[in-house]
Structure 1
Amino acid sequence: MSRTDGAEAGKLKIGDHWNVISIIALSQNNPLKAVAEFVENSIDASARNVAIIRGKQKNEYYLRITDDGCGIQDFRYVATHIGDSIKRKLKVQGSGDIQGEFGIGLLSFWTIGETLTLTSAGKDGVARTMQLVKGNPSYAIRETGMLFARPGTELLIHPLLPGIRSISAEKIQNFLASELRDRIARSGVHIAIIDHTTRRELVVEPRKFRGRLIHQLPEARCPFGEIYVELYLAESPQEAAVGLYKHGTRVIADISRLERFARSPWDSRCIEGIIDASFLQLTPGTRDGIVQDEVYDSFCVALEPVEEALGALLEEQKRALEEEASRQLLNRVTRAFREAFLYLPEEDYSWLAARVREPRRAPSAGTSSQSGAGEASANGEGSDYRESSSRTEEQNPATHASESSSDSLGDSENAALGEYIPEPNRQQSKTVQKSFFEFAGPLHKLMISPSSSVIGTSERRKFKAIARDRAGRLIDSGIDFAWHLSEGGGALDGINSPYAEYIAPEEPCVATIELRASQGDITLTATAIITVTAELIKRASGTGSAQRRGLPGYTYKKAPGELWRSRYDAENAIILINNAHADFIHASRQPMTKLRYIARLFAKELVLANFPEASREEILERLVELTLYTEENLK
């Protein structure tokens, strides 16, 4: 110790060596990590086969690890050079495949059991054992007296601590498969776990990620060494994490545990894989952390381009998922309104005019195909709502969601909904031969369209029978129908056909029509309620069946602080939904609640478009009517 100008200087010394050894021995917080340390020692000793054996002998549980490596050459050196591993010298000489460097791995047996017994043959071929006891600073080395020493090393820990006995073979297998993933793959070592208590034998295979490999990530360049990046888009987001490795051994199971990486995309649970950096400095006690020095800082900077690319990829993935969800949601909403319109009077409700492309038609003599399409559009004909424009698709791909729900319906049902089907398509549908699965099965469901209607006194209303099989296909033949007026006044015409006409009486009343359909031994009944009134809500002119093209798409418009929930943009034929409204945020917590909320917004826009001159009370009555029949069919 020296003294300079009253200041004291010197070198640090250990006051109690055994106390320091005890602290190091108890610093390992994960017993599975300790098992991985022992297996790594076998891999460092060039072992080709490693066996981990769990068992019970004389009422004591034990853990035995055996290998066929080069063994331990000098037990005394191992016991007297804690913190000064010979592996560090080998690394300086160029042995890069060796993992350990601190000389404290064996001490982690304190977190597993009471006694450690190592057996191995030295250079002279004599087998020796070394025994260490938890809490005891002494060690003992003796010859085993075996005539022929087998190669490799045997490590025996017994008795196990009470909390360690519950660690199953499956837990050890899963942990080693992730912890030593690349080390096992590179070395080709065979690791078997033999559990005598459950009579099972398992093999440790390097963990394989099931997600989709992310290609063309930018290279992570660091002046201190190479960084290997292997990342996947996860299939099960709840368990996905990116592990940090060194020389193929996992250091941190989830890199987002580090403060510099506790942000998206690392904590998104959408990406899994490994990042391997051999130059990082580990915390010696647990080897479960990183020394955050200038090397670590350079490592973080090198991963910034990868982080940026992953962020863009996740944003693109999120948009794709949202678009697909929007398509599916609009498809469900469209089907619900389609079913609701079967229950409601055809002349009361029209579809919103969705933006469409003109159908392809053969040009007539002296007229171009473009001019012919323009005339058809001007007359309100020749447009099929199932063909949406590219402009609407760009605004929201959900515009096309109604296509699949409409394609499965037959011409008769489309006509009942007021859709226009071009004549060439009608002729073609009659000539194309049906496949086997397009033929309808036995009668399963029967309904009357409309099932609820309001008409004036002395007026007439036509009704249609709709029969379907179990798969929802229309049955257009082989069924006997019988209509009759079960309650109320008025009269029926055409009681033995799929169509019937009701003639209302001169006085207001509520009438009930009953339909009976028979197909062989199957008989079903359906009813329709008719309200005969002297006062009707008048519809605006120009809302005829020529405009019935289906539901337009929808898109979100963020308008925080504004009270409107939705608006129909007639110019672009799209519904705008305010996704910053408190109601939308509340509804988005549950998928079914969100579906009902959007269906109600569509119902609101349909009622406003169909009854622009109605009073507030009349609009509310229609809204209740439409949402009642729509929400019943939301699936």
Structure 2
Amino acid sequence: MSQQRSLPEVDLPAVGDADGAQRNGSRARSGRLSVHDPFDLIRWLAMSQPDPRKAVAELVQNALDAGARRISVVRARRSRVRCLTLLDDGGGVIPELPLDEALRYLATHIGHSRKRRLTPRQRHELMTQGQYGIGLLGFWSLGETLEIRSYRAGERPLRLILRRDRPEYRIEGIPGAKPSEQTKTEVVVSDLHREAMPVLGARRLGDYLATELRGQLLARDVELSIEDRLARGRGRKSLRVSPLRFAGVRFDLDELTISTGEPPVRLDLFVAPGGSSEPVALYAAGTLVATSFAELGHVGLDHAPWTDPRLTGVVDYPLLPVAPGSRRGVLPGAAASALRQALATIEPRLRHFLDREEEQRNEELDRPTMQRLRTVFHDVLESLPRYGGLPTERAQHASKRLAEEGSRAPDADGSLAGDEQVPAEGETADSSPPSPAEPPRGDIELLESSVPPIESSPTGPLDSVRIVPSSVTMTCGSSRWLRAEVLDEDGRLIDGTTYFLWRLVGLEGELERQQGTSPRVRLKAGITPGSGSVRVVAEAPGGVHDPSPRVATCEIPVEIRMPSVFTGPGEAIPEPELVHEPGAAWRSRLQEDRWEVNTAHPSYREVADQPGILLRYLALLLAKEVVLHSCRDPRAAEPLEDLVEVFSAADRLLTKRPTR
């Protein structure tokens, strides 16, 4: 085997070490970096933007920076060539320069933007994004040729032509075009790449722009439309892009000041119903720079609560420096550090908000599911008379009332003589489904807000308010959540700050959160049956044309009835009271007259989003409590817990793995 030869070690002089340079027989030199071939650098800049949707977003951003009020994006054929055309009514290409000079400036100043001269404060006030002068190069990922057709009122229009992977440019008049009557800019990308076509359909491109430019579209009075003349089939061929909106319960802080005189951090955070599919995104002056905080480890932001899957929404800091080309990611520096320190101050408050909302959501089990569970166990205990129900305060109170009255007794089906059967909440008495015009009544659905379709126009000021559900029937001592929805005159849900005042009329009970900006309130029924109503008054600030406050009211009927399912004096089949106790070993327990279920136990969390398995899990826990209460032998508790553990694990596996 040949021996490996080691290279001799050489001591290199440090930068600025003139003596070291002299000892090594060389003179110290300094100079300015340069590129061997400038177009090679342009090529690499253009290739840093591989997403055709992002290239379209850059073109739209240029139109927004020019102050456009109407922007249209059209995919069509011109002379049998696939083209994408963007037309806007903004101020045009560098309006302070003569038209030919302005177009020449674009072609000869790649990597430099006049927008970069703006201070961060000016950029925030003008909502201007571009600063690197390379956004136009994104057309390489779209097609082969880019034309910028610039029209100025009273002037002969000109066009700038660039070709993919070609260093030349051309400025010329537009054949057959006459002096324009108005200022506008038309950008045409022709000979679209086949690989880019699937993502340039109206719906997919609209969804992308609604997310990518969310802050810009919300902050400006602009109409952005997409028309796809190449679409086939039943797909959408035209739509108006509206910014992405979020559903769920909103965090009550919308602004965070970092430094006096500088633009604040904007917060738009929500606890999404059922858990979020979209993580919290980071924006810079309305433009998306990170789709998730999990991408921000290099600036120390890849941790909870910002990465909590329950949380969705937007954090927007206009002063963040972003990577040129792709504009994805955040460059480390003073602005990123300031953002990290500012967000750290509200993290405890945000964690508390998440935990509180999860506890409330866990209390809102699907009523039909729980009705089914109670109905099944009523039949089970009838067929197995040696087992009794569980002690509950409501059942004991009802039993006492029956004993005092002496004239009414439970029927065989468990209902009180002379009482009507109470339909399951969310159903009518004849078991027909709710009218489509009525809002859904299930408690899980109460947390959901319909997201306006992407083509919807901006909503107007408050015109009316409604309460979901539109009527309530509940039993003595029970509770449920109600939600107010504010609507404009067209009946569309609106967002923004609204103050709510709730009142319970003619009933024994109480309302939690009777006033404030939260649209939800919890109604707790008293122990006496009766009929009454719940009323809400909504007040919102006025608009630009009419600054006076807008007020609307709504009132729904409420009926409170006696519990209808009994198994014996002082015993009933209760609904679970959900308790969030992380780290505790117990799954369920009887606490005096309450049946508690631990939603923080791993067994519960694994099935919480699977209604069928969750129902069987709760049935198993209820069976365990019924057996323990009936046999009154504490030694049975441990083996029953083991049985629950084994059976629930087997149930999950059987559901996931089909039998062979």
The TM-score by the shorter chain falls in which range?
A: 0.5 to 0.7
Paired residue for 1:148? 179
TM-score by length of 2: 0.59
Q: Is the 8 A contact 1:237 1:269 kept in 2?
A: yes
SS in 2 for 1:244: strand
Shift of the 54–323 alpha-carbon distance from structure 1 to 2, 3 Å rule, reads: same
Identify the match of residue 596 of structure 1 among 616, 628, 631.
616
Deviation at 1:262, TM superposition (A): 3.1
Q: Is the 8 A contact 2:276 2:312 kept in 1?
A: no
Paired residue for 1:86? 114
- 1:133-532 aligned at under 5 Å gives the runs 133-144=163-174, 146-149=177-180, 151-166=183-198, 167-198=200-231, 200-216=237-253, 219-222=256-259, 225-235=263-273, 237-259=275-297, 260-325=300-365, 332-345=372-385, 348-355=386-393, 359=397, 382=400, 414-416=410-412
SS in 2 for 1:334: helix
Deviation at 1:243, TM superposition (A): 2.8
1:111 & 1:188 partners in 2: Cα distance? Answer: 29
Shift of the 597–306 alpha-carbon distance from structure 1 to 2, 3 Å rule, reads: same
- 1:493-572 aligned at under 5 Å gives the runs 546=569, 548=571, 572=592
SS in 2 for 1:46: coil
The amino acid across from 1:89 in the alignment is R
Identity %: 28
Deviation at 1:212, TM superposition (A): 3.9
2:142 & 2:569 partners in 1: Cα distance? Answer: 80
Deviation at 1:251, TM superposition (A): 2.4
Note the alpha carbon deviations across 1:160-213, whole angstroms, 9 max, x for none: 111112220122222222222332343322222222223833222333334443
Structure 1 unaligned runs (5+)? Answer: 361-380, 386-409, 442-543, 628-635
Mean CA deviation greater in 601-610 or 186-195: 601-610
1:328 & 1:247 partners in 2: Cα distance? Answer: 45
1:418 & 1:4 partners in 2: Cα distance? Answer: 100
Paired residue for 2:506? none
SS in 1 for 2:305: coil
2:164 & 2:343 partners in 1: Cα distance? Answer: 42
Deviation at 1:75, TM superposition (A): 1.4
Paired residue for 2:18? 4
Shift of the 433–173 alpha-carbon distance from structure 1 to 2, 3 Å rule, reads: closer
Paired residue for 2:74? 53
Deviation at 1:352, TM superposition (A): 3.7
Shift of the 324–134 alpha-carbon distance from structure 1 to 2, 3 Å rule, reads: same
The amino acid across from 2:138 in the alignment is S
Shift of the 184–593 alpha-carbon distance from structure 1 to 2, 3 Å rule, reads: closer
Shift of the 299–609 alpha-carbon distance from structure 1 to 2, 3 Å rule, reads: closer
The amino acid across from 1:13 in the alignment is S
The amino acid across from 2:133 in the alignment is G
Shift of the 553–174 alpha-carbon distance from structure 1 to 2, 3 Å rule, reads: closer
Note the alpha carbon deviations across 1:499-554, whole angstroms, 9 max, x for none: xxxxxxxxxxxxxxxxxxxxxxxxxxxxxxxxxxxxxxxxxxxxx96564555966
Note the alpha carbon deviations across 1:537-589, whole angstroms, 9 max, x for none: xxxxxxx9656455596677979898x976656xx345677889887787778
Deviation at 1:326, TM superposition (A): 9.4
SS in 2 for 1:239: coil
2:88 & 2:244 partners in 1: Cα distance? Answer: 22
SS in 1 for 2:264: strand
Q: Is the 8 A contact 1:353 1:552 kept in 2?
A: no
SS in 2 for 1:290: coil
SS in 2 for 1:325: coil
Structure 2 unaligned runs (5+)? Answer: 1-14, 22-27, 94-98, 432-566, 648-660
Shift of the 334–191 alpha-carbon distance from structure 1 to 2, 3 Å rule, reads: closer
Q: Is the 8 A contact 1:25 1:110 kept in 2?
A: yes
Deviation at 1:221, TM superposition (A): 2.6
SS in 1 for 2:365: helix
Note the alpha carbon deviations across 1:103-132, whole angstroms, 9 max, x for none: 111111111111111221479923222111
Shift of the 417–78 alpha-carbon distance from structure 1 to 2, 3 Å rule, reads: closer
Q: Is the 8 A contact 1:131 1:141 kept in 2?
A: yes
The amino acid across from 1:221 in the alignment is I
Shift of the 321–159 alpha-carbon distance from structure 1 to 2, 3 Å rule, reads: same
Q: Is the 8 A contact 2:359 2:580 kept in 1?
A: no
1:46 & 1:614 partners in 2: Cα distance? Answer: 75
Mean CA deviation greater in 312-321 or 208-217: 208-217
**Number of aligned positions between the proteins:** 460
Q: Is the 8 A contact 2:271 2:357 kept in 1?
A: no
SS in 2 for 1:77: helix
The amino acid across from 1:161 in the alignment is H
Identify the match of residue 125 of structure 1 among 117, 132, 155.
155
1:186 & 1:439 partners in 2: Cα distance? Answer: 48
